[in-house]
Amino acid sequence: MSDTVHGHGGEDGETRRDFLVLASAALGAAGAGLAIWPLIDSMNPAKDVLALSTIEVDLTPIAVGQRITVKWRGKPVFVDHRSPEQIAKAAADDNASLKDPQTDKDRVKKPEWLVLVGVCTHLGCVPLGQKVGQPRGDFGGWFCPCHGSHYDTSGRIRVGPAPVNLEVPTYSFLNDTTLRIG
């Protein structure tokens, strides 16, 4: 490049040219970045997806000891109407050796209602134990068939490859019989 047309290629001219090249390249890169952002952001959740991010669950038909699954943000949420024995067991296990220590009290708002995101924290399978007859693992909670994680009656990981406890979603009780998730 240097042997052609640049003419007065003195030291001064070269640095000024370098500055112009760098400045326009930087401006061009910033412009390209700004232009690409709308494309990238279009892959984030759209407004209609965000609008579906809360659901309400009627708790009246759920008997003691019964577990139901509802869909929230495309994922299963476990709602467990725990029996006094299960609550006692969960509280007793607070002192057991836990991979992700958490007391049962910290994981519920009302002890009889345990609400969990039904997605194994290992690689995203849905653990078994919601339906009658399904294995509940060694600790009476849930059992993930994919890679053998056992969860207890508080949804805490006890044995297996999952790193942390089943997630507790944001929820609140609108009244005694209505649960709002999200």
Catalytic residues: 147
Task: Give the residue, chosen from 34, 46, 63, 132, that forms a contact with another protein under the rule CB under 8 A.
Answer: 46
Spatial strand order of the sheet with 67-72 comes to: 67-72, 75-81, 113-117
Distance of alpha carbon 118 from alpha carbon 131, whole angstroms: 13
Residue 73: CB minimum distance to another protein, A: 16
Number of chain residues interacting with another protein (CB under 8 A): 16
Task: Give the residue, chosen from 7, 8, 43, 74, that forms a contact with another protein under the rule CB under 8 A.
Answer: 43
Distance of alpha carbon 146 from alpha carbon 143, whole angstroms: 9
7 binds another protein (CB under 8 A): no
Tell me whether residue 53 or residue 177 sits nearer to another protein (CB atom): 53
Tell me whether residue 1 or residue 132 sits nearer to another protein (CB atom): 1
Residue 144 phi/psi, 5-degree rounding, is -95, 120
4 binds another protein (CB under 8 A): yes
Of 32-40, 82-90, 141-149, 151-159, which segment contacts another protein by CB under 8 A?
Answer: 32-40
Tell me whether residue 31 or residue 101 sits nearer to another protein (CB atom): 31
Task: Give the residue, chosen from 11, 42, 60, 131, that forms a contact with another protein under the rule CB under 8 A.
Answer: 42
Of 43-51, 97-105, 157-165, 167-175, which segment contacts another protein by CB under 8 A?
Answer: 43-51
Task: Give the residue, chosen from 11, 12, 41, 176, that forms a contact with another protein under the rule CB under 8 A.
Answer: 41
Q: Could you list the residues that contact another protein (CB under 8 A)?
A: 1-5, 37-39, 41-44, 46-49
